[in-house]
Structure 1
Amino acid sequence: MTRVFPPLTLAVFLVPVLAGLAGTLLPAFGVLPGVGGTPSLEPWRDLGAAAGLGRSVALSLGIGVGAAVLSLALALGIAAGAQGTRVMTACRRALAPLLAVPHVAVALGLAFLLAPSGWLARLASPWATGWTLPPDLPTVPDPFGLAAVLALTLKETPYLLLMLLAALGAVQADRSVAVARALGYGPVAAWVRVVLPRVYPLIRLPVYAVLAYSLSVVDVALVLAPGTPGPLAVEVVRWLGDPDPALRMQGAAGAVLQTGLVAGVLLVWRLGEAGVARLSRSWVTAGPPTPTATPTLGRRAGPGMVLAVAGPLVALVALALVGMALWSVATAWFWPAPWPAGLTLDTWRRHLAASPGPLWTTVTVGVAATGLAVALALGSLEHEPARGRPSGRGSLWLLYTPLLLPQVGFLFGVQILAVFAGLDGTWGAVVWAHLLFVLPYVFLALADPHRRLDPRWRRTARSLGAGPGRTFVRVVVPLLLRPILFAAAIGFAVSVAQYLPTLFLGAGRHPTLTTEAVALAAGGDRRLIGVRVFLQAALPLLVFGLALALPRVLFRSRSAMAAGEGTV
């Protein structure tokens, strides 16, 4: 029975992705399905003549590479400094709320925080700055996209840290660092020498996914990046949404260019990995240092470094969300007052009563996509014991395909496929589009706990006469309930954050909190934006809270299972 799940799961990815790439490639060369045309290079000539194309590409490169490098450096620094300390436990606990907050919620919160009339300027004015009017400073958006880099770094660092923490157990990091410390290395130097070379290959795919996403992000760029012109992905979305077929073909050519840009950067990054590994080999394999050769900082760096790095990240996210929460209940908030003049729930009552649709769509699509993802992931993982081996690296690469490709590179083609199938603009098409991006995260969150489950539990149940289905329901699910719920919470948070899949496949008929928040960002009503941002952040946080609380309630008489200990 379970043998149908692996091919079904891969088909969910390969069919839309391959069809999407083909559906984007054809218009890029003058053939728009449903409209016609003859093969030509006219879309590429139009693309080359587009105003500001070079600056758009440069912005994409600067934002994407800058955010990926900073996120990876911060995640590695936190993991290295916290290894083997109580700070590591605190970092694990802080990851869930940071992962739950959608990208665009952080971006909109930072927009208010860092704007010339934002909260930071209000808190310091006029007593510290002397400003009686908002300063004329290009902070949000800034000409170089630095605010977008900051927002992406705040969101991608927790994700990479989560992947790192999951991989550290596979390389026995605590034992390795202890041996290196005994030879005289400082805590950070020991981690870099004996852990990093073995753990980085295990997180290579997540790093590539972060790099690809940062290079082609749209929702964050719409809020924080410059718009005349914007990054390449933003311009491509504008062209693809134009009713003029010529501009759509130009947008398809831009989507192919975006895909090539991501592929080229990933190739350069991979070559850079090989170069760094070769250059650092002699340093990594050098003998232990003499007592006077190890820098004092290298010996003492650790929890203090982690707090210095992680503290500002958490504080910025918290301030951004608190600021938008205050706006959602503010009566009036004039410059330079640091606090609203009064508080009211009128905006909440008026807004939710007038347009409950986005909230309902967000919840139903998220629940449906997450439920399907959990079912497909568990079915595929349950087939592994039957065939006697886990899925190979090739399957993992296929699973990551939607995350390694820019969304604008294939979602336009998926939309064309949905049009021909009569699914464009339907609720089911939106669920399917979200599933493409939810399933990889759910599978990765479930794979390690499922594979570490003691096989003797299954053998015992089968020896007592239970069939495969009953064994799964009565034994496997209870033992894995905590990882299943946590994976579902991650999947729901990923679904809430989806912007382009909803925009392309929903055809404007199924707006979500994310699409509405981005649309409102162009306006000036911070109260409405505050309501959307607060709901965006609150829904995933609520689901994460339920994922943590349910095992404690259901297994309150079984302390090990309630705490997620024991076999999993």
Structure 2
Amino acid sequence: MARHLPALARVFTLVLFLAPVLAGVLGTILPSLGLMPGGTQAPLGSLDTTPWRDLLGTPGLGASVGVSLRVGVLSTALSLGLALLIVAGARGTPVMAWSRRALAPLLAVPHVAVALGLAFLLAPSGWIARLLSPWATGWTLPPDVATAPDPWGLAAVLALVVKETPYLVLMLLAALPQVDADRAVRVARGLGHGPLAAWGRVVLPRVWPLIRLPVYAVLAYGLSVVDVALVLAPTTPPPLAVAVVGWLSDPEAAIRGQGAAGAVLQTLLVIAVMGVARGGEAVVARLARPWLSAGPGARDWERRLGVWGALAAALPVALLTAGAVLAMALWSIAGTWFWPAAWPSALSLETWTRHLGDVAWPLGTTVTVGLAATALAVVLAAGVLEAPRRPAADRARLAGGILYLPLLVPQVGFLYGVTVAATLAGLDGTWAAVTTGHLLFVLPYVFLTLAGPWRRLDPRWGRVAAGLGAGPGRVFWRVTLPLLLRPVLFAAAVGFAVSVAQYLPTLFLGAGVHPTLTTEAVALAAGGDRRIIGVHVFLQAALPLLGFALALAVPAWLHRDRRGMRAAEDGR
């Protein structure tokens, strides 16, 4: 039985993902055609285009689509460019080592926490303006300028770039060993190519197919982001996804039908942009052929340019993330803080003591749902990754592609349908429904984080154990898992951080009964009380950071007397 458990885990995982996503998409399409479950809009078997007519007649719909396109495309392009510059330019330098160490804390901070922090940093009365006023700006009052949010959505773009750049760097670093990037660059350098040209000519064409899906996931998220948009995007009109969530939350069935049509439009928009991006890849590849086949032209300045470019890309991302969290943490303990003071007149724990009881319930939900979803994700990911050892790695690649599905389909495009299905099954508003909703997004990240180390594990360890009489289960528990303890715990920390950041799954499936720190922080953002928001943002950032700290500390303590185990965990 034990030898069949990985295969069963793989099948169960694929069904778990395909069923909710496909049912969710169907449950969104049907209401957009007038087939509202429990409603009276159209009899079964007939179609009604009224939701689509209402949607297309909505004032400002084109502008909403334009904002979504601007935010999604621009943030993805900038994030990808910065990630490539960091990885290519800093290769083999202290900047790369520093960037690796900074990845965990940068990834740990939820999107909405960064957005709320940036809203204070960039606001006309924010921390940056306070630090520069009045001595540098001459401002005695906050300027009357819309900066966060701004009419063009650039603040939302900045927040997404700050969050998605570390993620793409991590995906690149995980993909490079699969194409033997260091050896390829050494060969190209030996032929006279400069470091950046060598990386672009011999590594990027080979690594791009491995990071295409992560890049498309970033693109899909940017095009349909809701929580960051609620904080930093324009409101007149809002991005399409924000408008859709508002319509889907309306008690009137006709408005919900319009929202369902908007959710389908959002999905079609993402598909269309991905199609254009895929076609653009072919165009870029054709245009780049002369450069790819060009002879060597090494320049000494190219190495310095790469290092300084990588530092110029990585440092602002780290500083903005740290500044955003620090600003809100400071607000949580601030007394009076009047303009243009750069520092509060007094520090006090009054906000914490006064609101700690209010935070307890969302904090408990965040922790329990996060731990449950992460534990399930680690078990399922391990099952999927262990199955190819039996023999078929192609099935693992297929599984990895399917696990990307919830990241490639806009959340508003299928979560409403999942909510409808949960309501019909009597599960809407339950803790289990919220946990399952989080699992849909936690598992892909856990799988992606764990796949590289798992597949790089030398199979000879298992064969030696099997030769000594150990069965598959014993090999897994006594050999595979101890050797991969650090990657497993790091993947769990990533999964927990993803769960803490989830907004729409909690909003739709929780039905207001199971609030989390993220849903509460977004709700409080409209109120403008920075002290209370600061408490939620600090806890949002502290929980994932604690998870990453444990992921690093536990293996170091357990294997403190085993140098070989530490080397195996580090992949050496």
The correspondence of residues 28-47 of structure 1 with structure 2, limited to 5 A, is 28-38=32-42, 39-47=47-55
Number of residues of Structure 1 aligned to a counterpart in Structure 2: 564
**1:388 Cα offset (Å):** 4.5
**1:390 Cα offset (Å):** 4.9
Check conservation: 2:388, 2:396, Cα contact below 8 A: no
Find the counterpart in structure 1 of residue 527 from structure 2: 523
1:148 aligned residue (156, 159, 181): 156
Cα distance 1:176–1:386, how it changes in 2: closer, same or farther (>3 A)? closer
1:250 aligned residue (244, 253, 258): 258
2:294 aligned residue (286, 297, 322): 286
2:80 aligned residue (60, 63, 72): 72
Cα distance 1:506–1:566, how it changes in 2: closer, same or farther (>3 A)? closer
**1:500 Cα offset (Å):** 0.2
1:269 aligned residue (247, 265, 277): 277
Cα distance 1:541–1:566, how it changes in 2: closer, same or farther (>3 A)? closer
**1:346 Cα offset (Å):** 1.4
Find the counterpart in structure 2 of residue 105 from structure 1: 113
The correspondence of residues 438-453 of structure 1 with structure 2, limited to 5 A, is 438-453=442-457
Deviations 1:472-507 (A, max 9, x none): 112111111011000000000000000000000000
Find the counterpart in structure 1 of residue 93 from structure 2: 85
Deviations 1:225-255 (A, max 9, x none): 0112100000000000000100000000000
Counterpart amino acid of residue 544 in structure 1: F
Check conservation: 1:560, 1:566, Cα contact below 8 A: no
1:357 equivalent in alignment to 2:338: no
Find the counterpart in structure 1 of residue 558 from structure 2: 554
Deviations 1:246-275 (A, max 9, x none): 000000000000000000000000000110
Find the counterpart in structure 1 of residue 401 from structure 2: 397
**1:181 Cα offset (Å):** 2.3
Deviations 1:423-444 (A, max 9, x none): 1000000000000000011111
Counterpart amino acid of residue 491 in structure 1: G
1:12 aligned residue (12, 16, 19): 16
Find the counterpart in structure 1 of residue 512 from structure 2: 508
Counterpart amino acid of residue 280 in structure 1: A
- Once residues 318 and 378 of structure 2 are traced to their aligned partners in structure 1, the CA distance between those partners, rounded to angstroms, is 29
- Once residues 194 and 469 of structure 1 are traced to their aligned partners in structure 2, the CA distance between those partners, rounded to angstroms, is 41
- Once residues 542 and 359 of structure 2 are traced to their aligned partners in structure 1, the CA distance between those partners, rounded to angstroms, is 18
TM-score, length-normalised on structure 1?
A: 0.97
Which moved further from structure 2: 445-454 or 396-405? 445-454
Cα distance 1:372–1:299, how it changes in 2: closer, same or farther (>3 A)? closer
Counterpart amino acid of residue 259 in structure 2: G
1:367 equivalent in alignment to 2:367: no
RMSD: 1.4
Find the counterpart in structure 2 of residue 383 from structure 1: 387
Find the counterpart in structure 1 of residue 210 from structure 2: 202
- Once residues 283 and 70 of structure 1 are traced to their aligned partners in structure 2, the CA distance between those partners, rounded to angstroms, is 22
Check conservation: 1:551, 1:561, Cα contact below 8 A: no
1:222 aligned residue (216, 230, 235): 230
**1:560 Cα offset (Å):** 3.1
1:167 aligned residue (147, 159, 175): 175
Counterpart amino acid of residue 461 in structure 1: A
Cα distance 1:567–1:100, how it changes in 2: closer, same or farther (>3 A)? closer
Q: Structure 1: which 5+ runs fail to align?
A: none
- Once residues 439 and 392 of structure 2 are traced to their aligned partners in structure 1, the CA distance between those partners, rounded to angstroms, is 28
The correspondence of residues 451-470 of structure 1 with structure 2, limited to 5 A, is 451-470=455-474
Cα distance 1:567–1:464, how it changes in 2: closer, same or farther (>3 A)? farther
- Once residues 351 and 570 of structure 2 are traced to their aligned partners in structure 1, the CA distance between those partners, rounded to angstroms, is 48
- Once residues 194 and 504 of structure 1 are traced to their aligned partners in structure 2, the CA distance between those partners, rounded to angstroms, is 46
Check conservation: 2:189, 2:195, Cα contact below 8 A: yes
**1:462 Cα offset (Å):** 2.5
**1:471 Cα offset (Å):** 2.0
Check conservation: 2:385, 2:396, Cα contact below 8 A: no
**1:564 Cα offset (Å):** 4.9
Deviations 1:115-156 (A, max 9, x none): 000000001111111111111001011000000000000000
Deviations 1:173-192 (A, max 9, x none): 22222222233322212211
1:137 equivalent in alignment to 2:145: yes
1:345 equivalent in alignment to 2:349: yes
TM-score, length-normalised on structure 2?
A: 0.96
Find the counterpart in structure 1 of residue 326 from structure 2: 322
- Once residues 93 and 299 of structure 1 are traced to their aligned partners in structure 2, the CA distance between those partners, rounded to angstroms, is 22
The correspondence of residues 478-497 of structure 1 with structure 2, limited to 5 A, is 478-497=482-501
Check conservation: 2:384, 2:396, Cα contact below 8 A: no
Deviations 1:288-314 (A, max 9, x none): 23xxxx566435322222111211111
Q: Structure 2: which 5+ runs fail to align?
A: none
Check conservation: 1:187, 1:300, Cα contact below 8 A: no
